[in-house]
């Protein structure tokens, strides 16, 4: 019975981890993209630099979502409390 | 009515090579890593044979890659010190890019191995952890080489109150490098395998293209961050 409790809790925790991990970076990346598009609209010849900086910033923000995914994966596939 | 397995997904099974009783290696990671290293070395060696003033063909392509890596290094480390650490940044960039793309593009499923599956070596957390620890060592050694014992002044740099944060940062920098690369590659591979198990025809292709793009960005990010950490210590 303890085993099913641990399993259920792990599944819920994994889902909540991925769900909440998507909120903050989603808002942040949307903001960054909006400002980048505004910058391009204001000065179209700086498009190359703006795009490069934008992609670099996206990768940093994406890493925060990935941390949540890693926690979820470790709960599902490498759970230290099971077995 | 009978059922048969069209596909199945398994996470965490490796081909174990036992050296001694307690020490084992992940065989499939080593096989693909050696393949990637030899492929990249062969490509670079062939590209730098018979160098001509006006480059053509392969030499041109290798020079484009060199210019890209050199621009990363110069931007982050400054024009006076970039030469000492350019080989490290280039190695990290080419290994990560080569292994991510080799894992995504080459049909490894055609080769059957007794346990586990051949895939990108960066989907093994040991590979990415090793790269992150190497980066950490490199910026420590860069600090000692260029600043000597004055390197430790860096810990109280903006103000003394930031000393615990700077010490913690020494641990979180390699940790974040590690998990960023590992998480991106594993997430892409899992998504593609789940989609392939649902709809094997045509639907996984956009995700695979996104995975190629994202994994090349991750190679760029890893090498840029490695250069930035070294540059931060040097200046």
Q: Domain residue spans in chain A?
A: 2-77
Contact indicator for B183, A67 with CB cutoff of 8 Å: yes
Set of chain B residues whose Cβ sits within 8 Å of the Cβ of A78: 12
Token pair of B52 as six digits: 């001509």
User: From the CA of A67, how many Å to the nearest CA of chain B?
Assistant: 7
What percent of chain A is predicted at pLDDT more than 70? Answer: 96
Q: Which among B86, B95, B85 has a CA at the least distance from the CA of B40?
A: B95
**Residue scoring higher pLDDT (B92 or B20):** B92
Contact indicator for B37, B95 with CB cutoff of 8 Å: yes
Confidence of residue A2 (pLDDT cuts 50, 70, 90): low
CA dist B148 and B141 (Å) reads 9
Lowest mean pLDDT among B18-22, B61-65, B77-81: B18-22
- Read off the DSSP letter of residue B149: G
Domain spanning A2-77 has what CATH number?
Answer: 1.20.20.10
Instruction: Indicate which of A52, A56, A70, A82 best probes the interface with B, i.e. most B CBs within 10 Å of its own CB.
Output: A70
Contact indicator for B196, B207 with CB cutoff of 8 Å: no
Greatest C-alpha distance within chain A: 65
**Residue scoring higher pLDDT (A8 or B150):** A8
CA dist B30 and B33 (Å) reads 5
State the Cα angle at B117 between B181 and B22, rounded to 5°.
80
**Closest chain B residue to A61 measured between Cα atoms?**
B180
Q: What is the pTM of this model?
A: 0.88
Residues of A with CB under 8 A from a CB of B: 55-56, 58-60, 62-63, 66-67, 69-70, 73, 77-78
CA dist B36 and B233 (Å) reads 31
The count of C-alpha atoms lying within 13 angstroms of the C-alpha of B97, restricted to the half-sphere facing its C-beta, is: 17
CA dist B207 and B191 (Å) reads 8
In this complex, do A59 and B182 lie within 8 Å of one another by their Cβ atoms?
no
Given this model, what pLDDT does residue B162 score? 85
Token pair of A33 as six digits: 């993209």
Contacts of B3 (CB under 8 A, 6+ apart): none
Q: Which among B65, B39, B35, B62 has a CA at the least distance from the CA of B51?
A: B62
Q: ipTM, 2 decimals?
A: 0.77
In this complex, do B182 and A70 lie within 8 Å of one another by their Cβ atoms?
yes
Greatest C-alpha distance within chain B: 75
Token pair of B116 as six digits: 């586990």
The per-residue pLDDT for range B172-193, each reduced to its tens digit, is 999 999 999 999 999 899 889 8
CA B31 from centre of chain: 16
- Read off the DSSP letter of residue B111: S
Q: Could you tell me if B182 lies within 8 Å of chain A, comparing CB atoms?
A: yes
Average per-residue pLDDT for chain B? 89
Set of chain B residues whose Cβ sits within 8 Å of the Cβ of A62: 180, 184
What percent of chain B is predicted at pLDDT more than 70? Answer: 97
User: From the CA of B121, how many Å to the nearest CA of chain A?
Assistant: 17
Count of CB pairs separated by less than 8 Å, A with B: 36
Token pair of A45 as six digits: 């010849």
Q: Which among A60, A62, A41 has a CA at the least distance from the CA of A50?
A: A41
Q: Which residues pair with B17 in a beta bridge?
A: B25
The per-residue pLDDT for range B35-60, each reduced to its tens digit, is 999 999 999 999 888 887 887 788 88
In this complex, do A77 and B11 lie within 8 Å of one another by their Cβ atoms?
yes
């Amino acid at each position: 019975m303890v085993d099913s409790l641990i399993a259920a809790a792990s599944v819920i925790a994994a889902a909540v981890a991925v769900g909440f991990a998507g909120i903050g970076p989603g808002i942040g990346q949307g903001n960054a993209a909006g400002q980048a598009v505004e910058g391009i609209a204001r000065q179209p010849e700086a498009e190359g630099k703006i795009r490069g900086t934008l992609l670099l910033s996206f990768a940093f923000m994406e890493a925060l979502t990935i941390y949540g995914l890693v926690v979820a994966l470790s709960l599902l596939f490498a759970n230290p409390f099971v077995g | 009515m009978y059922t048969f397995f069209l596909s199945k997904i398994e996470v965490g099974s490796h081909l174990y090579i036992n050296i001694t009783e307690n020490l084992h290696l992940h065989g499939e990671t080593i096989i693909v890593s050696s393949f990637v290293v030899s492929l990249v070395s062969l490509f670079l060696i062939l590209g730098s044979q018979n160098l001509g003033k006006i480059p053509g063909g392969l030499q041109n392509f290798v020079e484009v890659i060199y210019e890209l890596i050199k621009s990363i290094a110069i931007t982050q480390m400054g024009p006076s010190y970039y030469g000492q650490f350019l080989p490290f940044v280039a190695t990290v960039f080419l290994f990560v890019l080569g292994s991510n793309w080799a894992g995504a593009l080459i049909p490894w499923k055609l080769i059957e191995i007794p346990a586990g599956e051949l895939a990108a070596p960066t989907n093994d957390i040991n590979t990415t952890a090793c790269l992150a620890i190497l980066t950490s060592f490199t910026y420590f050694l860069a600090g000692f080489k260029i600043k000597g014992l004055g390197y430790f002044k860096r810990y109280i740099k903006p103000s003394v109150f930031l000393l615990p944060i700077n010490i913690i940062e020494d641990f979180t920098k390699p940790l974040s490098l590690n998990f960023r690369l590992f998480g991106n590659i594993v997430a892409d591979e899992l998504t593609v395998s789940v989609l392939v198990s649902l709809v094997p025809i045509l639907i996984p292709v956009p995700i695979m293209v996104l995975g190629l793009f994202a994994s090349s960005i991750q190679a760029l990010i890893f090498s840029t961050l490695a250069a930035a950490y070294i540059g931060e210590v040097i200046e």
